[in-house]
């Protein structure tokens, strides 16, 4: 199994935290901290994916320019 986590998994963890809070299993403070951490991880995933896409676009543009 991969150590990489994706946005879908983050969403699942956020919903699990919300349910645990709603059921009184964790405090509001704990739920807030968990979701803040997960939101930061999600931002990092999104930034990384955007960077990879941008690099692919730049590479395509460079190879197209070389053909001209």
Cα–Cα distance between 1 and 16 in angstroms, integer?
A: 21
Residue 46 within a domain: yes
Give me 13's structure tokens: 């963890």
Report if pTM > 0.85: no
Residue 39 within a domain: yes
* Domain assignment of residue 31, given as a range: 7-66
Residue found by looking up tokens 């919300």 in the block: 18
* pLDDT, average across residues 11-37: 98
Q: What is the pLDDT of residues 42-64, one digit of tens each?
A: 999 999 999 999 999 999 999 98
Under a CB-based contact definition with an 8 Å cutoff, are residues 13 and 38 in contact?
yes
- Total domains in the chain come to 1
């Amino acid at each position: 199994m991969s150590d990489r986590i994706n946005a879908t998994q983050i969403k699942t963890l956020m919903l699990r935290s919300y349910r645990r809070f709603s059921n009184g299993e964790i405090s509001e403070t704990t739920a807030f901290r968990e979701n803040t951490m997960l939101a930061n991880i999600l931002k990092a995933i999104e930034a990384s994916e955007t960077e990879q896409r941008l690099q692919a676009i730049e590479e395509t543009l460079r190879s197209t320019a070389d053909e001209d």
